[in-house]
């Protein structure tokens, strides 16, 4: 039976528990738009492969993130020297292995030693492709960053994919399927804010696409400090997470952020599963009740020249 024609009440009435099998990889497309609709808008696209690894020696939940292919800025490869240099140097971090907490939230970089070993080859490649004082200064700053695991940790707080995808979603949501948390995202960098105080609402049944829906609605929570009363930051956050009905892993995320202190900035983040070539959308989209998932043939092409229409509309039931 087509899952879109049947309402599924999934197990774990007021909680989410991730059941992503170890050594299973899922490919995602990432689209980040800065100041959409404005003159200074910019769009970044890339693909990642996320793999759930076996737990670490102390039982740490581990995930590996790999960048696949190129990063596109406004539909083209980076053309400014500074952008190309940053992209070339950033390759040293991948594959990146991170630890997450028991709720799925990003914790630490796990493979720091491997990153350090990769640096020499990445550095040699940079020196062969670039020249000038800008390059020398950039390498110096990178080596300071890489030598300190805490600095890498702080740098990844500005990674939109990690900070959107690896949030503590897997937890109890209370009797009425809702809870509240304070979440930080890269857009709110000021010292005068704690983050977005966020109401989280977990659906009690699958949507028409067959996915579990988790909705976030947040507003900036300023620090309770008299120094910031005259210039309090404001902003909103809205996130829509669609999760696999059986394994609870992310199928897609669409999040909108605004932050004003005092100039308003906006960011939109879209992350969605990309099926393997020749396969239906997430072919294991099947519940214990043997309700078969919806075959989705219209997918977004992250780095191609054209995109088939209809995938996002169908996925988000718009």
Q: How far apart are CA 81 and CA 88, in angstroms?
A: 10
247-294 confidence digits (pLDDT tens) = 899 999 999 999 986 678 999 999 999 987 766 554 555 444 433 333
Q: How far apart are CA 271 and CA 241, in angstroms?
A: 9
Phi then psi for residue 316, to 5 deg, are -95, 5
157-202 confidence digits (pLDDT tens) = 999 999 999 999 999 887 666 678 999 999 987 667 889 999 999 9
Q: 1 and 292 in contact (C-beta within 8 Å)?
A: yes
pLDDT of 317:
42
pLDDT of 41:
87
């Amino acid at each position: 039976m087509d899952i879109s024609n049947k309402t599924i009440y999934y197990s774990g009435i007021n909680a989410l528990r991730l059941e992503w099998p170890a050594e299973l990889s899922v490919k995602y497309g990432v689209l980040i738009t800065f100041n959409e609709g404005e003159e200074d808008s910019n769009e970044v696209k890339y693909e990642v492969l996320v793999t759930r690894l076996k737990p670490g020696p102390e039982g740490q939940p581990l995930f590996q993130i790999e960048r696949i292919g190129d990063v596109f800025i406004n539909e083209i490869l980076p053309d400014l020297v500074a952008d190309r240099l940053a992209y070339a140097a950033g390759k040293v971090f991948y594959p990146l292995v991170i630890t997450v907490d028991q709720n799925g939230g990003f914790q630490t970089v796990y493979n720091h030693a491997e990153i350090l070993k990769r640096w020499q080859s990445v550095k040699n490649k940079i020196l062969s492709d670039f020249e000038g004082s800008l390059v020398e200064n950039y390498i110096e700053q990178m080596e300071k960053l890489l030598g300190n695991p805490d600095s890498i940790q702080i740098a990844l707080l500005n990674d939109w994919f990690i900070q959107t995808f690896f949030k503590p979603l897997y937890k109890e949501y209370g009797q009425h399927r809702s809870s509240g948390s304070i979440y930080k995202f890269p857009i709110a960098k000021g010292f005068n804010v704690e983050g977005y105080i966020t109401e989280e609402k977990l659906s009690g049944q699958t949507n028409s696409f067959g996915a579990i829906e988790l909705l976030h609605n947040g507003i900036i929570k300023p620090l309770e400090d008299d120094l910031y009363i005259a210039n309090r930051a404001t902003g909103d956050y809205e996130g829509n997470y669609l999760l696999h009905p059986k394994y609870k892993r992310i199928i897609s995320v669409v999040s909108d952020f605004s932050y004003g202190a005092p100039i308003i900035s906006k960011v939109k983040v879209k992350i969605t599963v990309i099926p393997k070539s020749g396969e239906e959308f997430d072919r294991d989209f099947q519940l214990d009740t043997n309700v078969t998932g919806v075959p989705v043939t219209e997918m977004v092409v992250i780095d191609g020249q054209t995109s088939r229409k209809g995938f996002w509309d169908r996925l988000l039931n718009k």
